[in-house]
Amino acid sequence: MASTKGPTGLRKFRAPTDLWKRFGDGVEASPDPEADMSKVLRQFLRWYVHEAGAKLPDRPATGPWSTPGDREDPA
């Protein structure tokens, strides 16, 4: 029987551990009570590719997760 839980086709996403943890902490503090990391990433992806009606996900107020940690080299 096919699963009815969310989108199909698992994707891997690589991010530095510190950034991923801070993202998760920020999502937990999100003003959207239904936010989870996958939902926020999907909202961002839809906005990024200009999907009709897509909006940026709600962002939490500044908090401990906002402090820059290890960053990838932008080059």
Angle subtended at Cα 51 by Cα 48 and Cα 4, rounded to the nearest 5 degrees:
100
How does pLDDT run across 19-69, given as a tens digit for each residue?
999 999 999 999 888 999 999 999 999 999 999 999 999 889 889 888 765
pLDDT tens digit sequence for 10-19: 788 899 999 9
Query: What is the per-residue pLDDT for 67?
Result: 76
How does DSSP assign the chain, residue by residue? ----SS-SS-------HHHHHHHHHHHHT-S-TT--HHHHHHHHHHHHTT-TT--PPP-PPS-GGGS--S-----
**Banded pLDDT at 7 (limits 50, 70, 90):** low
Q: Tell me, what's the pLDDT at 3?
A: 47
What pTM did the predictor assign?
A: 0.73
